Amino acid sequence: MYRKRNLWLKRGFFIGAAAFVFLIIFIARMIHLGPDNQAEEAIDQFYQYEQEGDFSESWSLFHSTMKDRFERGDYIKDRAHVFMNHFGVKTFSYEIGKVEEIKDWKITGESVPIALAYKAEVIQTFKGKYGNFDIHQDVYAIEEEGEWRISWDYNQ
């Protein structure tokens, strides 16, 4: 009798421990899947493409308003020309600052307000033939048709 009870206690402990571990994993995953984290991942993906010189892929992550602003071919040519040729750099490093939620944000002064956007300051560090320099830019991640898209600020 005592042995049976002890066996049930051991089984209960292992089941409880497994449920606890599962709960911790579930909570961690839910935190990771929060919109601010998804926004940061989109920004990070954009700059990974830029860092690799894959400007076609970075362009594909733009918000539709940005795509209207830049034709794909022109964007690819301009980015490669300015960064690689003028600055004399092959790549750059970058840091993404704290992501913050912004409500009713506009890409331009005339554009329709976007109900919810996420803003992060991105610092790109270049080491080129003209020395080392940083570009600080606020970058916005916006959910558009179920996908995270990137925009820059064109407000005056």
Q: pLDDT per residue over 24-68, tens digit each?
A: 555 555 555 799 999 999 999 999 999 999 999 999 999 999 999
Place of tokens 């794909």: 72
pLDDT of the residue at 84: 78
Class of domain 36-152: alpha beta
Q: What is the value of pTM for the model shown?
A: 0.78
Top-confidence range, 15-19, 25-29, 140-144: 140-144
Which residue stretches of the chain are H helix?
Answer: 2-32, 35-51, 55-60, 64-69, 72-79
CA distances from 57 to 15, 39, 49, 70, 118 (A): 46, 17, 6, 14, 21
pLDDT in tens, 56-106: 999 999 999 999 999 999 999 999 888 778 888 888 999 999 999 999 999
The more confidently predicted of residues 11 and 34 is 34
Domain ranges of the chain: 1-33, 36-152
132: pLDDT confidence band, cut at 50, 70 and 90? very high
